[in-house]
Amino acid sequence: MSRTDPRVTLPQIPDPRKPANDAGRPAINGDDGTPGFGVYLHWPFCAAKCPYCDFNSHVRHGGVDQSAYAAAFQREIAHMRALSGPREVTSIFIGGGTPSLMDPETVAAVLDAVAGAWHVPEGIEITMEANPSSVEASRFRGYRAAGVNRVSMGVQALNDKDLKFLGRLHSVTEALTAIDLAREIFPRMSFDLIYARPDQKPDHWAKELEQAIALAADHLSLYQLTIEEGTPFFGLRQAGKLHVPDGEHSAELYELTQDVTAQYGLPAYEISNHARPGAESRHNLTYWRYGDYAGIGPGAHGRLKTGNLKLATATERRPEGWLEMVGTSGHGIAETEELDAVTQSDEMLLMGLRLTEGIDLDRWKKLSGRDLDADQVDFLTSLNLIERIGRNRLRCTPQGMLVLDAVVADLAF
């Protein structure tokens, strides 16, 4: 595949719901339309903190005792199993932080613990986030042997100037090498890009996006740069030293993103995620369809049904504090909240309207105990911000996606 001409013919990607016929790779579970039950494992350590990042990530120059953390993950997994009861896992996601700083043996130990706690069918989607430095990419074969069958890489930009601006430690050359290796080793691969960067012009973004599509296998995550309070970028913007595109310019870049990805066969299935039909992230669909998931590791969040209750859980953010709590109590859960019907229905709206498939109104009514306000629905429909699909689904229009927060606020009361 040429890297100089982004308008190359893209390869045919096999349907992930069908058994693979290469190297005996197992099939990856397809989307059956249900929310499912996911397991999220958070590895909180990074080699460096990116200036835009507000995730729970920590730098430890003195190294990390991976065996101690693996043992703590095993204990917290057992506790989450006690809360959830027996469940069939539909997807596993190892996020961070930088999970590709984990030794393959650590990944294997944690995945084995998940399989020991719940029923994990063969071939389900097991995703791991990775940074594309040459050192981490060399571990890919070990992660594949441990059970990972989908990798999501934090590429973020395809030019070295913007990579440096974003605080990334890899070069474009390293990113391209890692992408090639990931496509060789893993049945599925995705990578992230950040757009709406300072001084980014639409034609430049279109060319970068076309290059990314030519490199991608079946999935891209494309996020607008947002300046989060508490990050270095926030301080720079407050001081007048950082200028990002305004709302109108950002909207233009967003609409361009939708047009280009659709043109090349990776339409949006969620506001920031694009995939070939059948290659959507099964794990992320669990979140957006308001399914249950166990959040394990420092700073992980979860939504678990236990008995007749739905619990929101959040673990201790500080890695060392979490490790101590697990050692003392068998888990690091710092916050637990029982979610009432109103909260659950509002969360379902907030998550589900991010999807191009929208929400199931029958399921929403069963959860909330009421119908959406008909006058409000008619009003937003008249503004071409939402639309009905068939009898029982509601979704945002492309125009509505641009003001998604306002649409959700108008529908929820």
Q: At what angle do helices 374-382 and 404-411 cross, to 10 degrees?
A: 150
154 has a pLDDT exceeding 50:
yes
Q: What stretches of 139-244 adopt beta strand conformation (E)? A: 150-156, 188-195, 219-224
pLDDT at 274 over 90: yes
Bridging pattern class, strands 188-195 and 150-156: parallel
As beta bridge partners, residue 312 has 303, 337
> pLDDT over 70 for what percent of the chain?
93
- pLDDT at 135 (0 to 100): 66
| Residue 17's pLDDT band (cuts 50, 70, 90) | very low
Please, which pLDDT band fits residue 15 given cuts at 50, 70 and 90? very low
Answer whether residue 345 shows pLDDT above 60: yes
* Tokens 């669909």, located at residue: 285
By three-state DSSP, how is residue 336 classified?
A: strand
- Which residue is associated with the tokens 């893209």? 10
Q: In degrees to the nearest 10, what's the CA dihedral of 274, 263, 11, 169?
A: -50
Q: Which residue has the higher pLDDT, 117 or 56?
A: 117
Residues 6+ apart with CB under 8 A from 285: 31, 35, 36, 291, 355
Q: What does DSSP say about strands 58-59 and 45-46: parallel, antiparallel, or unpaired?
A: parallel
> What are the structural domain ranges in the chain?
37-286, 359-412
Type of residue numbered 197: R
- Residue 12 confidence (pLDDT) above 50: no
Give pLDDT tens digits for 326-344. Answer: 999 999 999 999 999 999 9
Burial of 284 (0-12, 13-18, 19+ CB in 10 A): buried
Q: Are strands 91-96 and 58-59 parallel, antiparallel or unpaired?
A: unpaired
Amino acid letter for position 118: W
Pick the residue with more confidence: 171 or 30? 171
Please provide the distance, in angstroms rounded to a whole number, between the alpha carbons at the two ends of the chain: 51
SS3 221: strand
Query: What pLDDT does residue 5 have?
Result: 30
Do 186 and 137 touch, CB atoms closer than 8 A?
no
SS3 label, residue 399: helix
Beta bridge partners of 273: 221, 270
The band of 7, judged by pLDDT with boundaries at 50, 70 and 90, is: very low
* pLDDT beyond 80 at 212: yes
- Averaged pLDDT, 131-155: 90
pLDDT of residue 19: 32
pLDDT tens digit sequence for 373-391 = 999 999 999 999 999 999 8
13 versus 102: the higher-pLDDT residue is 102
Architecture per CATH, domain 37-286, reads as: Alpha-Beta Barrel (3.20)
Sign of the C-alpha dihedral computed for residues 168, 173, 176 and 178 taken in this order: negative
CB 111, CB 91: distance < 8 Å: no
Cα(393)–Cα(51) distance, rounded to whole angstroms?
40
288 or 26: which leads in pLDDT: 288
23 band by pLDDT with thresholds 50, 70 and 90: very low
Which of these ranges, 47-51, 250-254, 394-398, has the smallest mean pLDDT?
Answer: 47-51
Question: How confident is the model at residue 30, as a pLDDT?
Answer: 81
Q: Please, which pLDDT band fits residue 413 given cuts at 50, 70 and 90?
A: low
Distance CA 77, CA 341 (A): 27
Q: Name 292's Cβ contacts closer than 8 Å, sequence gap at least 6.
A: 35, 37, 38, 84, 87, 286, 303, 304, 305, 310
Please say if the pLDDT value at position 218 is more than 60: yes
Q: Which of 385, 26, 383 is nearest to 187 (CA)?
A: 26
